[in-house]
Amino acid sequence: MMNRKSQSALEFLTTYGWAFLIILIMIGALAYFGILSPSRLLPNRCNFGSEWGCVDYQVSSSATTVRLRLKNNLGEPITINNIAVGTEGTTSLFCTTTTPNPPVTGIRSGESRDFTFTVCGLAAAGILQGEKAKINVTIDYYSVTSGINYMKQTKGDMYVGVV
């Protein structure tokens, strides 16, 4: 009598074990082929806090450029002393040219400016066409009325699909 209870328990556990193994194999196959890739499901975003409005942004692997349109939300005219892009990978993103070349003076409150970073090593930083990338942006600026001695820094990021 005891053997029958043991046998039914073993068959029960074996059946559920096979079902669990099949589910794990299916999830592994979906992840391997990129169907369950969370980066494809996340939306594009651009965050700079309240100081700057991110009006528009683009990363192009064919032109090796990062383009960014920022709006001054500080309420006073400012000068951008330096603006840089980078990544958090083992090989950081490096761009040789920024247009306009800092310092960019007299950006009035509410005014938008375009910044284009060209000749960027996107492939070396692991940023490939068709995928999404997180790009960090650092802006060093100061108020026109206060002067360069009162330099401030803002950090923001873009999570964008590479075209």
Q: What is the pLDDT of residues 26-74, one digit of tens each?
A: 999 988 887 877 777 788 999 998 999 999 999 998 889 999 999 999 9
Q: Name the average pLDDT for the chain.
A: 89
- Pairing mode, strands 104-107 and 95-99: unpaired
Q: Is the pTM of this model over 0.85?
A: no
pLDDT at 146: 92
- Pairing mode, strands 52-60 and 104-107: unpaired
- pLDDT of residue 1 exceeding 70, the answer is no
As given in the structure block, the two tokens for residue 18 are 């096979």
Architecture of the structural domain at 43-161 = Sandwich (2.60)
> What ranges do the domains of the chain cover?
2-36, 43-161
Q: Which residue has the tokens 């310092």?
A: 103
pLDDT at 2: 58
Span of 16-20, 41-45, 155-159 with lowest mean pLDDT? 41-45
**Are residues 109 and 75 in contact, defined by beta-carbon separation less than 8 angstroms?**
yes
**Are residues 121 and 94 in contact, defined by beta-carbon separation less than 8 angstroms?**
yes
Q: Rounded to an integer, what distance in angstroms lies between the CA atom of residue 95 and that of residue 20?
A: 49
